[in-house]
Every structure is written in C-alpha cells, then in structure tokens.
C-alpha cells in the first residue's frame, strides 16, 4: 500500500537520553514559588498525608505563608541564567550531548514545573527517538524523588499512542564511579581552601522518619554513600573527621536525624573551628546547597564559635562529574549504541 500524500513525516531510528532533576520556580518571586510549591507539595509521593486532610492545610496555610520566605531564599542565589538547579542541569545536558555526539539526543527536564517531563519526552519522540533512557539524577533512591519521576513517565505512557522502548537509570549511591568522582572532586576543593578543615559534614536531603519504617531505602543508601566516602577519605585524609546529617526539615513530623543545622552548631560548640560541608545526594547545586548550607550553615557555624567554613560545590558539569555521568549513561545504553 502506497503512503498517502498527506501522511506526516515521522522521524525514526534515534536514541534519546532525558536527564531528570527535581524542579525549580520560574522566578524568585512569591507567585512563581507558590506555583512550584503547589505542584511539588501536591505530589502524593512527597507528602503522604491523605489528600482530603492535606490539601486544606496546603491551600489554607502553607501556600499563604511559605512562598514569601522561600522567594527571599531564592533571590539570594538566583543567577542571570535563572535558578542554579536549572542552570547546572542544563549545563550537564549540554556537556553530555557533546560527549555522546551523534549517538544520542540529550535533553533535560524537571519533575515539577519547566521544562516538563512530558513535553521533553514528546520532543524526543518527535525527533525520532525510538529508544529513550530516562535518567533521574538522584544517586540515592527515594519514593519522593526517583519513584515520583517514574510516576511522571508512567503518566506520559498512559496518555500516548506511539511509545518508544524505555530504560531508566538505576540509583548509583554505592557505584564506584560515583564514590571515586566525589572523593576526587571534594579532595580537590579541600586542597584549594586557605585552611585545613577539621571536619567534613556530609549533608543529605532529609525525609520523614516514617518513610524509613515503611520500607523506603533512602536512609540506607545515604548511609552507605557516607560510609564509602568515609573509607576513601580515611585513606587520603586520615586527620579529617567526617559526620553524616540530614537537612531541609519541613513540618512537624519527625525527620531523619541528626539534622544538619544541629550538627553544625553542636560541632562548633564542642570546639570544631574549621569545617567544610558537602551534599553528596545532590547532583547539581541548588537552593538547598547554596542558601541552606552555604549561607545559613555559615551563619550558624560562626554564631556558635566556628572560624573557618566552606560549603563545597556539587559535581555539576565539572569534568569529573561529567566523566562519571557519561560512564553511567553509556553503561545503561549498552546494546543501543
């Protein structure tokens, strides 16, 4: 049967890679932050309170009070290129595209707000991608992050007629590629400081403690990342102490402990004067690493008696970080490229 003359041109034969990060407001103002928080905090993977109880609290209290505070925090870290998370994730996608060349089409998306996952998957499909690797940039698995990103993929699948073959990047919390990359990068940043730190705090994003008791492996993944990094630093920096903590508590529920802000204050009170903080659960610098750790963390440390403080950057699109990301992606694309 001949193809109809008006048949649309359909591209085929391509391979796509979609890097996925959490999300960010479009601007550092109350309206944009409110829209972002409304979507983020309405995700049942993020807040597991039944919606009939949670939505009145969210709409009647949280979205009336929190956007102003969060907008102020975002305004302290906003760049000419937009939010740090968007800027760094876009840079990672561009760098990976250069490294993969014609082997794959690389795009990035955010689980919340823009660029939306569904829109970017549609673009890859329109570009002829019949095989797509979805790569959530979360080293440690959590239902609130990795699973939520896969929920968005599932929703996209449900609403599309024509679908590609799909693969997803597994968590890489204990992958030697990541441990080596983090150790190399953090060691280089420490060496560039004008002081010798006594303590390195490894700060992971917090989760409600109940998620651990319900079977979420996130806490265990964070602890293993910290243990493996500790072993690497014990060999290279035997005098450097390490501590593990969890940041970004929200609401009244009990969260994973110890809390990063408490650790920073207690360590300074106990005599630590030179401290560095790193966030090995974040693939890209963002509000939580720059404002919460870099600005408020320094304030807390110095107020408690500390004298030298540095918040180390994430891997971002550094050569070390991209070496790791390229290797992880190429491994998952095996058999396709």
Residue 252's pLDDT is: 80
Is-above-0.85 flag for pTM? yes
> Cα(261)–Cα(80) distance, rounded to whole angstroms?
29
What pLDDT digit, counting tens, does each position of 223-265 carry? 999 999 999 999 999 999 999 999 998 878 899 999 999 999 9
162 by DSSP, 3-state: which? coil
Residue 6's pLDDT is: 63
Do 156 and 117 form a contact (C-beta atoms < 8 A)? yes
* Angstrom distances, CA of residue 111 to CA of 119, 182, 332: 11, 25, 21
Residue 12's pLDDT is: 77
Q: Which of 191, 204, 192 is nearest to 237 (CA)?
A: 191
User: Which CATH fold would you assign to the domain 176-311?
Assistant: Rossmann fold (3.40.50)
* Angstrom distances, CA of residue 41 to CA of 47, 54, 93, 209: 6, 9, 26, 18
Phi and psi of 286, rounded to 5°? -160, -170
Residue ranges of the chain whose pLDDT lies below 70:
1-8
107 by DSSP, 3-state: which? strand
Residue 34's pLDDT is: 97
Residue 67's pLDDT is: 95
Report domain extents, the chain: 176-311
Torsion of CA 147, 86, 156, 6, to 10 degrees: -160
User: Which position has the token pair 């001949």?
Assistant: 2
Number of residues that this document lists for the chain: 337
Residue 164 tokens, joined:
């590609």
246 by DSSP, 3-state: which? strand
> Cα(133)–Cα(329) distance, rounded to whole angstroms?
8
- Long-range interactions of 144-152: CB distance < 8 A, separation 24+: 144/43, 144/45, 144/46, 144/207, 144/211, 144/218, 145/22, 145/111, 146/171, 147/45, 148/43, 148/45, 148/46, 148/111, 149/20, 149/111, 149/117, 151/45, 152/111, 152/117, 152/118
> Cα(75)–Cα(83) distance, rounded to whole angstroms?
9
Residue 188's pLDDT is: 98
SS3 string, 58-71, reads: HHHHHHHHHHHHHH
């Amino acid at each position: 049967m001949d193809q109809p003359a008006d048949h649309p041109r359909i591209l085929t034969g391509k391979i796509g890679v979609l890097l996925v990060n959490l999300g960010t407001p479009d601007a550092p103002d109350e309206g944009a932050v409110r829209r972002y928080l409304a979507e983020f905090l309405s995700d049942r993977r993020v807040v597991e309170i039944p919606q009939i109880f949670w939505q009145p609290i969210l709409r009647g209290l949280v979205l009336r009070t929190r956007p102003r505070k969060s907008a102020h925090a975002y305004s302290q870290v906003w760049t000419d290129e937009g939010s740090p998370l968007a800027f760094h994730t876009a840079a990672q996608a561009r760098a990976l595209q250069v490294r993969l060349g014609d082997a794959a089409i690389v795009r990035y998306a955010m689980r919340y707000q823009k660029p939306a996952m569904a829109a970017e998957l549609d673009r890859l499909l329109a570009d002829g991608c019949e095989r797509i690797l979805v790569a959530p940039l979360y080293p440690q698995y959590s239902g609130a992050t990795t699973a939520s990103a896969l929920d968005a993929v599932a929703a996209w699948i449900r609403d599309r007629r024509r679908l590609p073959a799909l693969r997803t990047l597994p968590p890489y919390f204990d992958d030697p590629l990541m441990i080596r990359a983090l150790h190399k990068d953090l060691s280089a940043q420490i060496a560039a400081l004008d002081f010798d730190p006594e303590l390195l705090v490894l700060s992971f994003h917090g989760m409600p403690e109940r998620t651990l008791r319900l079977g979420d492996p996130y806490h265990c993944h964070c602890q293993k990342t910290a243990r493996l990094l500790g072993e690497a630093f014990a060999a290279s920096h035997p005098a450097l102490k390490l501590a593990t903590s969890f940041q970004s508590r929200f609401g009244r529920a009990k969260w994973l402990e110890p809390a990063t802000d408490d650790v920073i204050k207690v360590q300074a009170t106990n005599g630590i004067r030179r401290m560095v903080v790193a966030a090995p659960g974040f693939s890209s610098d963002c509000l939580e690493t720059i404002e919460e750790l870099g600005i408020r963390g320094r304030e807390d440390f110095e107020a408690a008696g500390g004298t030298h403080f540095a918040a180390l950057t994430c891997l971002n699109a550094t050569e070390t970080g991209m070496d790791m990301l390229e290797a992880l992606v190429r491994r998952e694309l095996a058999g396709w490229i």
